[in-house]
Structure formats: structure tokens, C-alpha cells
Amino acid sequence: MNYESVLNWYRKSRTPVLSAERAIELYFQFHPRTAFVKTLPQNSTLVDIGAGDGSLSIFRNWPDPVRQDIRMYAYSIEKGSRFDDFDAYELSDWNAQPPEFNGQTFDAVLSAHFIEHIKSPASFIDWCVRKLKPGGRLYLEWPSEASNEASMPSISDLVKADVNLVISRFDDDNTHQDLPDRDFIKSYAKSMGLHLVAEGVARVPWLEDELMANYRDAEDRFPAQAAFWSWAGWSQYLIYEA
């Protein structure tokens, strides 16, 4: 990606096929993170590590299928606005003290855009090995190398060109540590006994254009940002079983 390609993509004329509501619903329905949650075994316990505002709790009820059987827990450095929608949550600075949840173990761990914020990504794998039940599942998502390409324009340069995104390049976020190396994560997880069952880059190509057609100039910046992340191949994911 470079400055011109991002500008051309952002400014491209598009005519929506879907309604705005349907486009965002399908984006989440087909995103590998949501699919991971929606296809967990019945009555699973799931913990979201680095839960942000707690929006993962929405996926118990939307989109289909409804998964009220899943018990959800959240962890972050501070309380998110939706944390009260979880069955329980824990707060701490991971670098000082990872969560314990009173010794509870989980059927599933989900972590999206968290390991790039901590000093030791290996410490997250160690924690998962300790807290996952036998046969438990892990979904791990973080920025890909595409986010860190030298040619990727900075958000400050894009904003000057009226490209209204939140983040473009990995180092636009000064809370990011070094970008965790994919090969290291895979090798370390394997050495700790986790079994890789799926991997990829989070892309939903048709829905990128549908989101931009419906939301490019909307006040809510998330849909256009999500379309950019997808188009740029900005996020990678690994799915493991314990």
C-alpha cells in the first residue's frame, strides 16, 4: 500500500447493493472473529483478553445465531462501557499482573489487537496454556506486516487529504510496542503444546465496498475503518486448540 493507492481506494465511486444495516451485519457475520464466537460448543465459557469497550458482548444476541448459552468474561486495563454486560470482568495492567479470574479456566480465549500492546507476547501464550481447558480454543488477532510497511501512509498525511480514518500505519498508535512476529508466535505456541487449526488475514472483499458505499461519509467512523483494515489486509489471525 502507498499514499496514492489508499487515496484512490478511499475516493472510489461506489453504489451500494445492500442497506447500511445489512452491510454491517454481514461484515460481522463473515469476519473470522465473530465466526469463532458463534461456532463455539454449547455452553462454552469465553474470555476476551484486551476487551476494549466490551463490544464483544453484543455477539451473544446479534447477528444470528443468538448464543445466550455462552458465558462471557472480559479483561482489560480499565473498565469498558459494556463490561457490565459480561458475566464477570477483571482489570489490571497485564505487564504487572495478568488476570486470574479466581483460578477459573475457560473453553475459549479471544484476543484481538492486544498482544501488540504488551511487553511480552509470549506471556500471553503462556497464560492461554495455563487457562484453557483441554480441547479449548484460542482466537488470536493482531496487526499484520501490511500495517507496518514503509510505504503505508501515516494517518496524519491521509487526514490532510480528507481521508477520514482513525489509523493507517502501525506506528500511528503510540501505545503499540514492536509488531509481534508471526513466525515466532506460531513457533512458540507449537512449543507450548497448542495445535494450529486455522490462520489467515481478515478479509471480506465484497463487503469492503458495501461498507464504503454506505458509510464512507458517515459520522460513525468504524465501518469505513473496518473496510480499510479488510482491504489493506491489516489484521492477521491464528486459531488454536489446546
Check residue 216 and give its pLDDT: 96
CA pair distance 50, 53, nearest whole angstrom: 9
Counting residues of the chain whose pLDDT is more than 90, the rounded percentage is: 100
DSSP summary character for residue 106: E
CB 188, CB 122: distance < 8 Å: yes
Pairing of strands 106-112, 132-143: parallel
Mean pLDDT over each residue of the chain, to the nearest integer:
97
pLDDT tens digits for range 100-111: 999 999 999 999
pLDDT tens digits for range 116-131: 999 999 999 999 999 9
Please compute the mean of the pLDDT values over residues 26-53 and round it to a whole number. Answer: 98
Check residue 93 and give its pLDDT: 97
User: Which of 150, 158, 149 has its CA nearest to residue 10?
Assistant: 158
Counting residues of the chain whose pLDDT is more than 70, the rounded percentage is: 100
CA pair distance 116, 113, nearest whole angstrom: 7
Please compute the mean of the pLDDT values over residues 165-178 and round it to a whole number. Answer: 94
Give the residues across from 199 on adjacent strands: 238
